[in-house]
A and B are shown apart, each in its own frame.
Chain A
Amino acid sequence: MRSDLDLELVALTKRYGQSLAVDGIHHLFHAGSYACLLGPSGCGKSSTLRMIAGHEDVSDGAIVLGGHDIAHLPPAKRGTAMMFQNYALFPHLSVTDNVAFSLKMKGIDRDTRRRQAGEMLELVHMQHLADRLPAQLSGGQQQRVALARALITRPQVLLLDEPLSALDPFLRIRMRAELKKLQRELGITFIHVTHGQDEALALADEIVVMNNARIEQAGPAREVFNAPRTEFVARFMGGHNVIALPQGHFAIRADRIALTGSDKGRLEGRVTGIEYQGASVALTLLAAGDQEITALLPEEQYFVQPIQPGDSVGLSWDDANLHALGA
């Protein structure tokens, strides 16, 4: 189902001298979806975002939005808006003036732009601090202002560059809920760069996992988590074991592994560590061929029959939970 407002990357490439930052990636972001670009640092996710925003020249390829190639337009003409990692609020301007900045640049008169900025600030619940300077705001408040400033240009696509990384863990969880809510209300596309898989899982309709300048796997959050296609994705998304069996490499979720008697399992292992995690207990095991495997047992199940480090146990699983991995 395609719409006019879909954002499509076509063979998008970024080279810095000899090195490739983004290697000819193709992807279609559906209009109105919340997409996360996920990957370790240096994987090309930020370069991709900055190319979409227009802050990085495109070496090759096209970026199509609303039926036009926007790859060579200036940032403000693309229909995108960017929210920067450190928010990039103008330190010499008040909250209102920060939000109204793009209107001022367009030459809109003072009263109109103050009114519109006020509306935007109301949307992010910041109208009561409209006269403060950015330095007088907390991290979370600065982020709301940055969000209002990006949204006032009425973009079709909002680009967020690691928007939550500067916040403390508690605030991060609150802000991500708000981001999601805002995206639903506005109905525009959000493209959110992050290196945190929990953030991506919590927010994204669609996760695009990148590694080494390429897209490793893209799809709905649940699909990417439950059925990783490569070893990298399995390890990066976490919660998975990668095990080598005679038939090849497979990923299996840590909580899909069951323990049995040492000779009844499909693989034998020795317990090397036990970690109590509240709702569950994580067992680290060393299986045949020096493979390290983590098994996540429900807490009550573990304490019925506690296991000690050094014990030998058997590991079993349902074949339906195995996912064959590509290279």
Chain B
Amino acid sequence: MAALFRNRHLTGWLLASPLAAVLAFFLVLPILMIVVVSFWGATEFSIYPAFEFDNYHFLLTSPVTLQVFLNTFKYALVTWALTLGIGFAVAYFLAFHVRSQTWQIALFLLCTIPFWTSNIIRMISWIPFLGRNGLANSTLISWGVIDEPLEWLLFSDFSVILAFVHLYTLFMVVPIFNTMMRIDRSLIEAANDAGASGFQILTNVIIPLCKPGIMIGSIFVVTLVMGDFITVRFMSGSQSANVGRLISNDIALLQYPSAAATAVILLVTVLMVIGTLLRFVDIRKEL
């Protein structure tokens, strides 16, 4: 027995096994279940185990699927671009313009205040603001900027993306801020010494060194937006669809096999997007 424990390979496996078991049970097994169910068949009133490609055939040939996936990509892309712009600017301000650490921490905590309430409440609170007779419209009318309420403020792509940006910008700020804080300040001085202007320092030193943070933030935002269904439902007033809503509708109709097939395709798509992103930056080197 003692000899067994001295075997380094065995102890290694034993030490790794608790986490492996947890991951296998809570991550691998459910995904396998989804994959298995995605090949099952369904009628209007029953689900039966099978191995058929009907769900995938239907999905991959339906024009709705393509449209919904394109819409999902559109949300992901626009949200990514906006959160990246805002997130980088906020992180830059916090990391390079706020000199005292106390203020840095204080302002950083300020950024997290919206997270003290739930996603849904933060989302819903936009509705009275953006509505036809909401704060935004009435203010604009009272200032004389517009004559009649703007219809596109709420229940539109605009409001969906606004909510996404509001919800997920912090996921961009945190990793970028983190990589910025790890940039040796003497590098900035060295660039300055070499005659670089502020903008040249930004493009030649800071942005290249922030790439891992940008990449991690991008992965967060893209996966969150692509997997979301509730924001799209609330903020579009059920007028727009993304893949998440497709799945949630299937589930509401108890069409589990079809939902599972859509989920598998979404998972593969997101993994491909992440795989592409990771080709640009080796994050492991930076962690």
Q: Which residues of A contact B (CB under 8 A)?
A: 53-55, 74-77, 81-82, 84-86, 88-92, 101-102, 104-106, 149-150, 153
B192 touches A76 (CB 8 A): yes
A90 touches B192 (CB 8 A): no
B44 within 8 A of A: no
Q: Which residues of B contact A (CB under 8 A)?
A: 184, 186-187, 189-197, 200, 204-205, 208-209
* A101 / chain B contacts, CB cutoff of 8 Å: 191, 194, 196, 204
A75 touches B204 (CB 8 A): no
* B192 / chain A contacts, CB cutoff of 8 Å: 54-55, 74-76
* A149 / chain B contacts, CB cutoff of 8 Å: 190, 194
B195 touches A90 (CB 8 A): no
Which of A74, A77, A84, A104 is B190 in contact with, Cβ under 8 Å? A84
B197's nearest neighbour on chain A, judged by CB, is A105
| Chain A: minimal CB distance from B286 (Å) | 10
A181–B194 alpha-carbon span in the complex (Å): 24
A3–B259 alpha-carbon span in the complex (Å): 84
A81 touches B193 (CB 8 A): yes
A102 touches B194 (CB 8 A): yes
A90 touches B190 (CB 8 A): yes
B184 touches A86 (CB 8 A): yes
* B194 / chain A contacts, CB cutoff of 8 Å: 76, 101-102, 105, 149, 153
| Chain B: minimal CB distance from A102 (Å) | 3
A88–B188 alpha-carbon span in the complex (Å): 9
Known interface pairs A86-B186, A88-B187; A75-B193 also in contact (CB < 8 Å):
yes
A55 touches B209 (CB 8 A): no
A81–B192 alpha-carbon span in the complex (Å): 10
* B195 / chain A contacts, CB cutoff of 8 Å: 74-77, 102, 105-106, 153
A92 touches B186 (CB 8 A): no
Known interface pairs A53-B193, A101-B194, A153-B195; A91-B209 also in contact (CB < 8 Å):
yes
| Chain B: minimal CB distance from A70 (Å) | 14
A314–B148 alpha-carbon span in the complex (Å): 106
* A82 / chain B contacts, CB cutoff of 8 Å: 189-190, 193
A102–B205 alpha-carbon span in the complex (Å): 12
| Chain A: minimal CB distance from B164 (Å) | 31
| Chain A: minimal CB distance from B214 (Å) | 13
B190 touches A88 (CB 8 A): yes
* B209 / chain A contacts, CB cutoff of 8 Å: 91-92
17 sample A-B contacts, Cβ–Cβ < 8 Å, listed by A number:
A74-B192, A75-B189, A75-B192, A75-B195, A76-B195, A77-B195, A88-B187, A92-B208, A101-B194, A102-B194, A105-B195, A105-B196, A105-B197, A149-B190, A149-B194, A150-B193, A153-B194
A149–B200 alpha-carbon span in the complex (Å): 17
B208's nearest neighbour on chain A, judged by CB, is A92
With A75-B192, A102-B194 already in contact, 17 other A-B pairs whose C-beta atoms are closer than 8 Å: A54-B192, A55-B189, A55-B193, A74-B192, A75-B189, A76-B193, A76-B194, A77-B195, A84-B189, A86-B186, A90-B187, A90-B191, A102-B193, A102-B196, A105-B191, A149-B190, A150-B193
* A150 / chain B contacts, CB cutoff of 8 Å: 193
* A53 / chain B contacts, CB cutoff of 8 Å: 193
* A85 / chain B contacts, CB cutoff of 8 Å: 186
A105 touches B193 (CB 8 A): no
A80's nearest neighbour on chain B, judged by CB, is B193
A74–B200 alpha-carbon span in the complex (Å): 15
B186 touches A90 (CB 8 A): no
A86–B189 alpha-carbon span in the complex (Å): 12
B209's nearest neighbour on chain A, judged by CB, is A92
A82, A88, A153: which has the most chain B beta carbons within 10 Å?
A: A88
A256–B90 alpha-carbon span in the complex (Å): 65
B205's nearest neighbour on chain A, judged by CB, is A90
* A102 / chain B contacts, CB cutoff of 8 Å: 193-196
